[in-house]
Amino acid sequence: MARVDDKDMGSDLQSVLISKEEIDAKLAELAAKIDAEYAGKDLLIVGVLKGAVMVMADLARALSTPVTMDWMAVSSYGAGTQSSGVVRILKDLDTDIKGKHVLIVEDIIDSGLTLSWLLSNLGSREPASLEVCTLLRKPDAAKVAIEVKWIGFDIPNEFVVGYGLDFAEKYRNLPFVGTLAPHVYGG
Ligand SMILES: O=P(O)(O)OC[C@H]1O[C@H](OP(=O)(O)OP(=O)(O)O)[C@H](O)[C@@H]1O
Ligand code: HPA
Ligand SMILES: [Mg+2]
């Protein structure tokens, strides 16, 4: 697929759900709240690869608080659009988080399985605090008991791509969040 923009979305995309401008404004808003929360504290932000790369990069630059950054790669999805429910660590943190203020940064909470597993895994490492910031959240996340302090947008239960989010590893570099045409994933 050729690179697309808001005017020429290409036949694979159905609609632009959240524009680049809306994402930028929301991240500025979230960053101000996070700055206030962690004033005077050392904060480690943990990005969940690969989807959270764009949110991490833009949120980190919107923050005034100095942060350190680490990355974790876990996978609960195969090539399709359904979570397998089995979470595997593909890359662990480089740093020991014991006694640190940790903020997990995610692109999306869908079934909530990835985050639920991450919270218990990282929580067992005795951080001083452990919170979550996600750009997107889908309705199914309510079925899992997880506490998410900062949420960008609550979105409907449709498969979305762009701004880090992929379908079969494609579309991550779109600057906006869009819905995928059902024919692309056989819906
Ligand atoms: O709430 P859930 O249903 O668990 O889904 C959310 C997770 O799934 C996606 O990651 P994925 O495992 O597909 O890897 P990726 O970030 O490399 O795309 C997404 O980036 C979240 O991490
Ligand atoms: O809607 C989605 N899009 C892309 N990746 C995802 N991972 C969970 N839900 C989604
Ligand atoms: Mg991810």
Taking CA atoms, 60 is separated from 7, 45, 105, 121, 151, in Å, by 29, 8, 10, 23, 16
Q: 């791509």: which residue's tokens? A: 161
The torsion angles phi and psi of 80, rounded to 5 degrees, stand at -100, -155
Residues catalogued as catalytic: 110
Dihedral of alpha carbons 3, 4, 10, 12, sign: positive
Of 46, 49, 74, 76, best ligand 1 pocket probe by most atoms within 8 Å of the beta carbon: 76
Least Cα distance to 161 among 115, 105, 125, 107 occurs for: 107
pLDDT recorded at residue 1: 43
pLDDT at 6 over 50: no
**CATH assignment of 18-173, given 3.40.50.970, 3.40.50.300, 3.40.50.10320, 3.40.50.2020?**
3.40.50.2020
Question: pTM for this structure?
Answer: 0.92
DSSP letter string, 37-96: HTTTS-EEEEEEETTTHHHHHHHHHH--S-EEEEEEEEEEE-SSSSEEEEEEEEE--SS-
Identify the residue with better confidence: 22 or 84: 22
CA atoms within 13 A on the CB side of 40: 0
Q: 């960008």: which residue's tokens? A: 152
Least Cα distance to 167 among 10, 58, 8, 7 occurs for: 10
pLDDT tens digits, 126-165:
999 999 999 999 999 989 999 999 999 999 999 999 999 9
Domain ranges of the chain: 18-173
Of 54, 76, 109, 110, best ligand 2 pocket probe by most atoms within 8 Å of the beta carbon: 110
CB 125 within 8 A of CB 101: no
Taking CA atoms, 11 is separated from 38, 112, 120, in Å, by 43, 30, 40
Ligand 1, residue 107: give the atom nearest the CA. Answer: 20
pLDDT tens digits, 35-67:
999 999 999 999 999 999 999 999 999 999 999
Helices 20-37 and 53-62 pack at an angle, to 10 degrees, of 60
- Give the SS3 label for residue 27: helix
